[in-house]
Amino acid sequence: MKKVKAVGFDFVNTLVIIKNEALRKAFDSLVESLKESGISVDPVAFRDTYSKSAAAHMANSRKSGIETHNRFWISEALCSFGHNISPYDKKVDSGVAAYFGSFVSMSELIPGTKEMLLMLKEHFPLALLSNFTHSSAVLDIIKHFGLSKFFSQIIISGEFGYCKPHPAIFLHMAKGFGFAPEEILYIGDDPEPDIYGALTVGMQAVWFAFVEENSIPRAPGYAPQGTIKAPAAVKRITSWEELYPFLLL
């Protein structure tokens, strides 16, 4: 490994786990919020349409590298049921807020995360670089666990506009650090957006396979995960203790 001057981290399944049942709870909250706004839908039929729309929008986002947002597939699904509602309608905004409202309570830190960040912060500037459509949800979780103090940069795709593995979001992190990409180490759990995304711009990478190693269900979502493996030359670790020996030399 070349000399590392800064370290970036993925968020979900790298620093925190969002419990698998969060998706069900979030969807129920969305439907209830819509009902309170005067929009009634059959939950079963709406879930199917909503899920298909979400999957299509996420697939387009992966192809283009341009991040999408929940408001678009909520609006699209509602329109298919005869509710002509803009993605920017206040009722949709309330639905999005309700959807993500339970994510904090459904999240937990991966063991040793705070201790690891505290140790590394003594040696490197740190950044958080996350693919997440609704940036407020990530910021709420970060605040809940007291993590913001560790990072000189917090970059969330839903706010930045591009999502991993698009080079723009990695290069934005490098520019924020003020270092060349090859001087930056990026750590993430999902090889396609995290590892290949970092390697493409010349960064070093570590595959954090805690979730895979412990057979923990991945965070709910519509992007396929776990189907691509990292290159054999990329170091694979399953706990934060494995990171220290070769990084803190």
Within-domain flag for 205? yes
pLDDT tens, residue by residue, 104-129: 999 999 999 999 999 999 999 999 99
Domain shared by 88 and 121, yes or no: no
Domain end among 100, 128, 163: 100
Within-domain flag for 161? yes
Q: Is the pTM of this model over 0.95?
A: no
Domain shared by 115 and 207, yes or no: yes
Domain end among 100, 120, 141: 100
Within-domain flag for 86? yes
B/e letters for 107-141, b = 16+ CB within 10 Å, e = fewer, are beebeebbebbebbeeebbbbbbbbbbbbebbebb
pLDDT tens, residue by residue, 39-96: 999 999 999 999 999 999 999 999 999 999 999 999 999 999 999 999 999 999 999 9
Residue with tokens 């670089």: 129
Does residue 27 have a pLDDT over 60? Answer: yes
Domain shared by 66 and 33, yes or no: yes
Angle at 233 between CA 227 and CA 239, to 5 degrees: 70
Cβ–Cβ < 8 Å for 93, 71? yes
In this structure, of 10-19, 168-177, 179-188, 208-217, the range with the lowest mean pLDDT score is 208-217
Collapsing DSSP to helix, strand or coil, 17 comes out as: strand
Residue 112: which domain range? 6-18+108-247
Cβ–Cβ < 8 Å for 96, 70? yes
Within-domain flag for 173? yes
Domain shared by 181 and 213, yes or no: yes
* Element at 236 (helix H, strand E): strand 235-237
Angle, helix 90-100 to helix 22-36, in steps of 10 degrees: 150
Alpha carbon distance 247, 195 (integer Å): 17
Can you read off the two tokens belonging to residue 16?
A: 């925190």
Within-domain flag for 187? yes
Within-domain flag for 29? yes
Within-domain flag for 112? yes
**pLDDT tier at 222, thresholds 50, 70, 90:** very low
Domain shared by 122 and 27, yes or no: no
**pLDDT tier at 225, thresholds 50, 70, 90:** low
* Element at 33 (helix H, strand E): helix 22-36
Within-domain flag for 1? no
* Nearest CA-CA partner of 1 in 130, 183, 160: 183
Cβ–Cβ < 8 Å for 204, 182? yes
Question: Which residues on neighbouring strands pair with residue 126, listed in sequence order?
Answer: 7
Q: What percent of the chain has pLDDT over 70?
A: 95
Domain shared by 91 and 125, yes or no: no
Alpha carbon distance 21, 231 (integer Å): 31
As a whole number, the mean pLDDT across the chain is 93
Domain shared by 78 and 114, yes or no: no
* Cα dihedral 50/141/131/211 (nearest 10): -90
What separation in angstroms does the CA of 168 have from each of 24, 131, 155, 225, 246? 33, 13, 12, 21, 28
Domain shared by 234 and 129, yes or no: yes
Average pLDDT over residues 137-164: 97
**pLDDT tier at 245, thresholds 50, 70, 90:** confident
Domain shared by 128 and 224, yes or no: yes
Domain shared by 116 and 224, yes or no: yes
Does residue 145 have a pLDDT over 70? Answer: yes
Does residue 229 have a pLDDT over 90? Answer: no
Domain end among 70, 100, 130: 100
**pLDDT tier at 230, thresholds 50, 70, 90:** confident
Output the domain CATH number for residue 154. 3.40.50.1000
Domain shared by 216 and 132, yes or no: yes
* Nearest CA-CA partner of 16 in 122, 125, 205, 150: 150
Domain shared by 10 and 37, yes or no: no
Alpha carbon distance 42, 46 (integer Å): 6
* Nearest CA-CA partner of 101 in 130, 140, 132: 140
Number of domains in the chain: 2
